Amino acid sequence: MTPGGNHRPETFFPELLAPFQALTVTGHIRVALSGGLDSMVLLHLAHQVFGHCANGLSAIHVNHQLQPAAAGFEAASVETCQALGIPLEVVPVRIRAAGSVETSARDARYQVFADRLGPGDVLLMAHHGDDQVETLLFRFLRGTGVRGLGGIPAERPLGEGRLVRPLLGADRELLRRQAQAAGIGWQEDPTNAATDVDRNFLRHRIIPLLSARWPGLGARLAATARACREAQELADLLARSHFEQLADGPHRIRLEGFGELPLSARRNLLQWWLGDSLDRTLSDRELDGLVLAAADAMPEIPVGPFALRRFQGHIYRVTRYPDPVAGDQFLEPGRTIRDGDYTVSLKGEAGSGVSLLLTHRRGGERLRERAGGPSRPLKKWLQERSVPPWERDRLPLVFRRDELVAVGDLWQLPQKEHTTEAGWQLDIRREEGIVCDRK
């Protein structure tokens, strides 16, 4: 661990303490602790201000297990928290191989944080002014729009609490001087020196040149970010107005009115609708494809955790869930099965007379809405309820012997019409991701 200096923990800079002292917190305070310079300084400042707070102060260290140095960062975090008497939770995560490792690690980290924030809780993160400069330049070079050029927000909702970044007004050098003055040790990340990484290239090669030529670069870019945030606020107001005019529920908008908007207003509406999940600007071709595709076409635009789809005169915002379970499974009392975006469980005490099979569409299924009544093709039944085609094969189907007794959360045959066995209940729930007519 890099030594901090003269070990005088009472030496804290007033300009760094001020943002912490200005915080109003009604719940628990958590510090996102990596073990690096920035988060170690953050931890000590939080301890100085909130160390005796009645609501409590703790830290979270997420170990991504992506580099040999990860163990050293974890050990330094544990050692420092023990010395300060701050409870620390270490959370190991595994990053999936597909896609960007950096993006996957970030998503996993923020999910850990969100899961641990209750109402009134605050998560403190150590992003500082130099991070803001890097972010703004990086987004500018990627061709991002006004929303992205608003930069890193000082605070935002996260989970049931909020995320706060009290060091955004400070630069990296000030944090280094604070660490030296207060005797704060930290771990150096060996990957920060690799200039083949875009952000590191900006940090080590480009930003020093720009700062030498234009002193006060951080303040200049911060002013630009403020202007972009104000412009985005106006764009969001316009998007909200268009959405209220065109929305049929939270997950779909009418295509007819959408197609009459100017191209810029269409893009603005969709980007507002997709929110923080959109990390790029939708192209003209994508926007035209939603409006101009043939009447029987169903164009799709994948966007982060969502996809934009078209069906029956509407544009849908669809959550992209894992695939349903493969094969057939018998339901067991007390066991919950995660089936794509559904959970299926058999509650209560089921006797030997109850045998329920979970499966999915293969074609040819028929549905009898009441015992003794006529059966109908399931496909036609789904069409009448305007269930979008991409949803139909994802629906969990439950059979008792050869009788279809449940179709997702859309329909169940009353128990008394297919069994005399009492004391159990079939429960099928769905995460909110799309709206269809549940008649």
Q: What is the pLDDT of residue 67?
A: 85
Residue 37 maps to a domain: yes
Domain boundary among 296, 319, 342: 319
Same domain, 307 and 335: no
Q: What is the pLDDT of residue 266?
A: 92
pLDDT tens, per residue, the chain with 439 residues: 655 544 454 689 999 999 999 999 999 999 999 999 999 999 999 999 998 887 899 999 999 888 888 999 999 999 999 999 999 999 999 887 556 788 788 888 999 999 999 999 999 999 999 999 999 999 999 888 888 899 999 999 999 999 999 999 999 999 999 999 999 999 998 888 888 888 899 999 999 999 999 999 999 999 999 999 999 999 999 999 999 999 998 889 999 999 899 989 998 999 899 886 665 667 778 888 888 888 778 888 888 778 899 998 999 998 877 778 888 888 888 888 888 889 898 876 655 456 888 999 999 999 988 877 888 999 999 999 989 988 898 899 999 888 899 999 999 888 766 565 666 788 899 876 543 333 2
Q: What is the pLDDT of residue 400?
A: 86
**Residue from 308, 418, 327, 436 nearest 382 by CA:** 436
Residue range(s) defining the domain that contains residue 51 = 14-192
Cα-based distances in Å from 126 to 129, 170, 223, 225, 424: 10, 10, 21, 19, 51
> Could you give the strand order of the β-sheet that contains 306-311, starting from the edge strand earlier in sequence?
252-254, 314-319, 306-311, 300-303
CATH number at residue 265: 1.20.59.20
198 is in an annotated binding site: no
Q: How many domains does the chain have?
A: 3
37 is in an annotated binding site: yes
Spatial contact of 273 and 301, defined as CB atoms under 8 Å apart? no
CATH number at residue 107: 3.40.50.620
Helix or strand holding residue 389 (H, E):
helix 389-392
Taking phi over 0 as left and psi of -120 to 50 as alpha, with beta for the rest, 77 belongs to alpha
Residue 298 maps to a domain: yes
39 is in an annotated binding site: yes
Q: Which residues of 198-230 are buried (b: 16+ CB within 10 A; e: fewer)?
A: ebeebbeeebeeeeeeeeebbeebbeebeebee
What is the rounded distance in angstroms from the CA atom of residue 29 to the CA atom of residue 39? 14
What is the rounded distance in angstroms from the CA atom of residue 137 to the CA atom of residue 356? 57
Same domain, 298 and 411: no
Helix or strand holding residue 237 (H, E):
helix 217-246
Q: What is the pLDDT of residue 295?
A: 76
Same domain, 300 and 370: no
What is the pTM for the complete model shown?
A: 0.73
Same domain, 272 and 399: no
Same domain, 163 and 259: no
Q: Which amino acid is at 292?
A: L
35 is in an annotated binding site: yes
Domain boundary among 259, 289, 319: 319
Spatial contact of 1 and 185, defined as CB atoms under 8 Å apart? yes
* CA angle centred on 424, ends 418 and 426, rounded to 5°: 70
Q: What is the pLDDT of residue 10?
A: 61
What is the rounded distance in angstroms from the CA atom of residue 164 to the CA atom of residue 143? 27
Q: What is the pLDDT of residue 439?
A: 29
Note the residue count of the chain: 439
Q: What is the pLDDT of residue 25?
A: 92
